[in-house]
Amino acid sequence: MGLIEETSAFALGNYLKERKVISREKRVSTITAYQGNNQTLQDDINVTEVRQRIRTFSQSSKDEILEALKLLSKIKEAPVIIHGAIGCSAAELYFYKEEDKNTWYSTDLNERDTIMGGDEKLKKTVERAYKKYKSKVIFVVGTPVVAINNDDINSVILELEEELDTKIISIDTDGFKTKASINGIDIVLHALGRYVIQKSTDQEKEDFINLISISENKKGIEEILRLLGELEVNVNTIPQFASIDEIKKAHLAKVSIAVNDDEADILLRGILEKSQVPSIKSKVPIGISGTSSWLEELGKSIDIQDKVTTFVTKEEKRLEKYTSKQPLLGKKIFIDLPTSVAIELIGFIEELGGEVTGISISHIDNLNRDKFKVLSKEVFVKIGDGQPFELVNILLKNKPDFYIGNTDQVGLVSKLGISPISVTNKTLYGYEGAIELIRSFQKLEKRKGFVNYLSENTKLPYKETWLKKSSNWFIKQEVK
């Protein structure tokens, strides 16, 4: 905890100068395939060169392009051009369905373009987007077709920047050089750091903090803002829900703090590197102690400890009636969420008397591996985005009472007769998020009709022989 320092993970002060951010695997030894208990995992990762494993059977998972698109869709007033075949923008329908102002373009590359190159089309699309929106920034997202063909996006951009009064930012995703989809977030944050964040000196600071939000939903951020409002802290929330001007303002802040510093790492470092704004490293504000500790870290760095202590004490008192009864006593819980969120949630489940018997997370790396040390050695850990075939195998053996995850797997979980909580549309963060979760557990206990009916009347497409096998059967050591 505390401030991000030079010594951690990799040296500061030079990575923004690089045109591309190094992939997560190479930068922080990210692992995306593993199954076993926490003890074995610890032995595995605390070595100089971590063992990479692969899946010899795999199901669909997210790629870096999806993570990049999702984040870009939440940045205001900046058109996004997906330079590739039309399917690479299909998910935009989901990401943009509630947005009124943002927009995206697909260059809709066809067979001819894959042979002759799509540069001209990209050029026309950027011009078209600029002519219509006159935005300060236009993002161009790379895709497999463009990467395999080695289309030169950067020369197109250089040429256009001479003509048009806008910053054209290349998001250097290709969809196949990393297995960690979170890399897409890194690439976007690196681009923001390099092209949007301003240089500054210490004297110019203003009275606000940067709140870095990457993937939290609106409700979650509203709760965090409520907490900061109570403490009379002025906040600049970036890059989600922010305009380019708001992101540009980041260098004037007193400090930066992320909701989830695993995801926000690159931007925290970028702002520090370019504008000397200190970045606070902290727990994720989930559950009661997680939230309090997040606020306390912030309090320390902007010198409002007393105010924080008073507020935290008041809020914790307010929540006592929910936690004192230990509503999860004797319950077994399985968590399937992004790494840092999952880890923090474990603490909260334990506060409520529950026992976390297994977790499924997308990845583990040097940025978050220390957080695992606090976990019980017996907790079962599955690493890898998606892979429901593994999940069903694990859940049948793990037999939890509840499952907490995003919506993606709730169908499968329900069919197994396990009550799921989907946090996709829940507050999750802060004290209100904690209360909402407790209420969700209470609801699940009583309202089992839907899950019971589904589990008794439906079946899953997996073979019995597979379900009897060890769940890590298809995870093998990579042959180099």
Q: What is the full DSSP assignment across 224-264? A: HHHHHHHTT--EEEEETT-BHHHHHGGGG-S-EEESSHHHH
SS3 category, 19: coil
CB of 467 to another protein, least distance (A): 9
In DSSP terms, 243 is beta-bridged to 76
Q: Tokens at residue 117, please?
A: 């190159």
CB of 104 to another protein, least distance (A): 6
CB of 56 to another protein, least distance (A): 5
Among 4, 81, 341, 418, binds another protein (CB under 8 A): 81
Q: What are phi and psi of 400, to 5 degrees?
A: -75, 160
Q: Of 441-480, which residues contact another protein (CB under 8 A)?
A: 461-463, 465-466, 474
Pairing of β 235-239 and β 279-281: unpaired
Q: Where on the phi/psi map is residue 232: left (φ > 0), alpha (ψ -120 to 50), or beta?
A: left
x/- track of binding to another protein for residues 15-54 (CB under 8 A): ----------------------------------------
| Residue whose CB is less far from another protein, 95 or 348 | 95
CB of 403 to another protein, least distance (A): 15
3 binds another protein (CB under 8 A): no
87 binds another protein (CB under 8 A): yes
Q: Of 93-152, which residues contact another protein (CB under 8 A)?
A: 93-97, 100, 103-111, 113-114, 120-121, 124-125, 128-129, 132, 144-145, 148-149
| Cβ-based neighbours of 400, under 8 Å, separated by 6 or more | 332, 333, 334, 357, 358, 418
CB 101 within 8 A of CB 94: no
CB of 89 to another protein, least distance (A): 6
Pairing of β 475-477 and β 53-55: antiparallel
Pairing of β 80-82 and β 53-55: unpaired
Q: Of 375-404, which residues contact another protein (CB under 8 A)?
A: 386-389
Among 73, 178, 260, 368, binds another protein (CB under 8 A): 178
80 binds another protein (CB under 8 A): no
CB of 14 to another protein, least distance (A): 25
175 binds another protein (CB under 8 A): yes
| Residue whose CB is less far from another protein, 149 or 198 | 149
Q: Tokens at residue 165, please?
A: 């009064």
181 binds another protein (CB under 8 A): yes
309 binds another protein (CB under 8 A): no
412 binds another protein (CB under 8 A): yes
Closest to 474 measured CA to CA, from 52, 36, 57: 57
CB 238 within 8 A of CB 246: yes
CB 289 within 8 A of CB 431: no
Binding span for another protein by CB under 8 A among 92-100, 263-271, 307-315, 317-325: 92-100
| Residue whose CB is less far from another protein, 120 or 206 | 120
301 binds another protein (CB under 8 A): no
| Residue that is written with structure tokens 């009897």 in the block | 468
Dist. CA 142–CA 122, nearest whole Å: 11
Q: What is the dihedral of CA 134, 246, 20, 27, to 10 degrees?
A: -160
| Residue that is written with structure tokens 């681009």 in the block | 191
CB of 421 to another protein, least distance (A): 18
CB 239 within 8 A of CB 291: no
In DSSP terms, 213 is beta-bridged to 239
Question: With CB under 8 A, what is the number of residues at the site for another protein?
Answer: 70
Among 66, 227, 228, 428, binds another protein (CB under 8 A): 66
361 binds another protein (CB under 8 A): no
Residues that bind another protein (CB under 8 A): 55-66, 81, 84-97, 100, 103-111, 113-114, 120-121, 124-125, 128-129, 132, 144-145, 148-149, 175-179, 181, 386-389, 408-409, 411-412, 461-463, 465-466, 474
